[in-house]
Amino acid sequence: MSNQKTFPEYKSKSGWNALLPAREANPALEKDISVDVLIIGAGWTGISAAKRWHSLSPEAGIALIDASEIGEGNPGRNSGFLLEIALAEDANPNQVDKMKLCNQLTASTMAEILAEIECSGHTVDIAKTGTYRAAASEVGLKSLQNYRSFLEAAGLEYESLDRSTLKSRIGSDFYQEGLYSPDCYLAQPAAAIRALASLLPESVQLFENTAALKLEQQSGGWQVQTPNGIINARKLVLANNAFSKELGIGRSRLVAMHTYAGLTPVLEQSVLDDLGGDESWGLLPTHRLGSTLRRTCDGRLMVRSMHSYEKEAPRGKIIGELQHRLEKRFPQLPNSDFEHCWGGAVGFTFNGGAVWGEFKPGLYVSAGCNGGGTVKGTLLGKLLVEAAHGMTVPNVPKLFGRASWMPPEPFRKIGYKLAASVESRQGRHEL
């Protein structure tokens, strides 16, 4: 076991959650309990797994624990892109049939998420806004071309955009070229995960501020230690992303990669008037070290960029660099101050494949969605539970990849540093 904590503790609050009204968290676990199923991690994957387990086994006693609070933890820290189709790095124009099936599964999962959010009665900013993808340099243009080939091969709609059209839409002439694809929703992620959690069946006991500290296999199931209580469970589902490795599962395949976001205050109307014609949009980089951008419907800009290995970088450095990246794209901003700036951990795998399946008897894991796990995590959490019930499910490793092996420390970190420095040099104009 490494010296890392078994759960994330972030330096800053989630900016998205801070914009919402206060929410009363469910109580933490304060005593020992026994359940049929314990799910660790109440995020996109864990909430989906809990709902599916309940629908397939309504009589099962299910507990769902999270180290943080709904909306404040990692699931509410992302940029809010809910993709109905493959991510740029997953898109493969040479495997169109496989990609079409992935796209179908992802699109139907997105439809379920949307229906649930609507049914929750929560007010969530979510709309099928589509997404831009744009490239600033040769390296980015190559990836853009690959993505365009994938969209064409898969028969998906898109619109090519040159620098001036992009500028007229989003107010930035940073990018040489781009495209617009309609198959993406943009959401306020903390509001979305709160809405999804609100529909957990009553029989699912949700304990917030309850971290799993240690797992132990016992005869007839699993024992999980939390700060103030032990949980005995016949079945155990790990839906805690990169931190499943700190509980001893997927250690040779997962890394907690931290990435960061900054959100401006609501901008003055005169500033917004100089930011192109689209009032709400999102832009994903074509290079994986590039920056994600959003203009929210209430008139803020968000930038997501930078990575650090296994721990959060110093806050001052992050704020300065994110501001610099925003200014490069929007030199017309009078200032690039943020109202909120925060980090989150992505479950990174070397080849982008998932850590998914039954790893030990009665212990199921779905982790490692890399940079796009909102919709994909929801899908893989549901499929994991269906597989645990013996149902025939699509071949997840074949469709979404199986996480490849990574060397142990310190070689892994050295490898990461080398690869990151080469990629940052190659993609320096996309940063």
Name which position in 50, 62, 64, 65 contacts ligand FAD (CB under 6 A). 65
Quick one: 45 or 264, whose CB is closer to ligand FAD? Answer: 45
81 binds ligand FAD (CB under 6 A): yes
Q: Name which of 65 and 117 has its Cβ closer to ligand FAD.
A: 65
Is 236 one of the binding residues for ligand FAD (CB under 6 A)? Answer: no
Residue 304 lies near ligand FAD (rule: CB under 6 A):
yes
Full 3-state SS string of the chain: CCCCCCCCCCCCCCHHHHCCCCCCCCCCCCCCEEEEEEEECCCHHHHHHHHHHHHHCCCCCEEEECCCCCCCCHHHCCCCEEECCCCCCCCCCCCHHHHHHHHHHHHHHHHHHHHHHHHHCCCCCEECCCEEEEECCHHHHHHHHHHHHHHHHCCCCCEEEEHHHHHHHHCCCCCCEEEEECCEEEECHHHHHHHHHHCCCCCEEEECCCCCCEEEEECCEEEEEECCEEEEEEEEEECCHHHHHHHCCCCCCCEEEEEEEEECCCCCHHHHCCCCCCCCEEEEECCCCCCEEEECCCCCEEEEEEEEECCCCCHHHHHHHHHHHHHHHCCCCCCCCCCEEEEEEEEECCCCCEEEEEEECCEEEEECCCCCHHHHHHHHHHHHHHHHCCCCCCCHHHHHCECCCCCCCCHHHHHHHHHHHHHHHHCHHHC
Report the alpha-carbon distance of residue 222 to residue 210 in Å, rounded. Answer: 17
Interface with ligand FAD: number of residues (CB under 6 A): 39
In the complex, what is the shortest distance from the CB of residue 339 to ligand FAD, in angstroms, rounded to a whole number? 16
Indicate which single residue of 12, 14, 26, 74 sits in contact with ligand FAD (rule: CB under 6 A): 74
**Of 78 and 205, which has the nearer Cβ to ligand FAD?**
78
* Shortest distance, position 39 Cβ to ligand FAD, whole Å: 9
Considering the rule CB under 6 A, would residue 42 count as an interface residue with ligand FAD?
yes
Query: What is the closest distance, in whole angstroms, from the C-beta atom of residue 377 to ligand FAD in the complex?
Result: 4
Cα 391 to Cα 383: distance, rounded to the nearest angstrom: 9
Residue 15 within binding range of ligand FAD, rule CB under 6 A: no
Q: Which residue among 250, 276, 344, 352 contacts ligand FAD (CB under 6 A)?
A: 344
Nearer CB in complex with ligand FAD: 74/286: 74
Q: Which of 180, 222, 243, 281 binds ligand FAD (CB under 6 A)?
A: 243
The residues, any chain, with a CB within 8 Å of residue 133's CB and separated by 6 or more, are 88, 144, 147, 178, 179, 181, 283, 284, 285, 286
**Window contacting ligand FAD (CB under 6 A); options: 6-14, 49-57, 90-98, 116-124:** 6-14
Q: Please report how many Cα atoms fall inside a 13 Å half-sphere around the Cα of residue 168, on the Cβ side.
A: 4
Q: Which is nearer to ligand FAD, 109 or 240 (CB)?
A: 240
The nearest distance, CB 347 to ligand FAD, in angstroms, is 6
Q: Which residue is nearest to ligand FAD (CB)?
A: 373
Position among 78, 106, 181, 188 found at the interface with ligand FAD (CB under 6 A): 78
Instruction: Tell me: does residue 241 bind ligand FAD (CB under 6 A).
Output: yes
Interacting span for ligand FAD (CB under 6 A) from 21-29, 76-84, 132-140, 386-394: 76-84
- Assess 250 for contact with ligand FAD (CB under 6 A): no
Q: Is 363 in the site for ligand FAD (CB under 6 A)?
A: no
CA atoms within a 13 Å half-sphere pointing along the CA-CB vector of 380: 35
Number of CB atoms found within 10 A of residue 94's CB: 9
Closer residue to ligand FAD in complex, CB, 239/271: 239
Which residue of 39, 63, 211, 293 would you call a contact of ligand FAD, by CB under 6 A? 211
Residues from 367 through 386 that contact ligand FAD (CB under 6 A): 369, 371-374, 377
| Residue 330 engages ligand FAD in binding (rule: CB under 6 A) | no
Does position 291 interact with ligand FAD (CB under 6 A)? The reply is no
Q: Decide if residue 171 touches ligand FAD (CB under 6 A).
A: no
- Of the ranges 1-9, 131-139, 267-275, 382-390, which one interacts with ligand FAD (CB under 6 A)? 1-9
Write out the residues near ligand FAD by the rule CB under 6 A: 6-8, 40-46, 65-68, 73-75, 77-81, 211-212, 239-241, 243, 259, 261, 304, 344, 346, 369, 371-374, 377
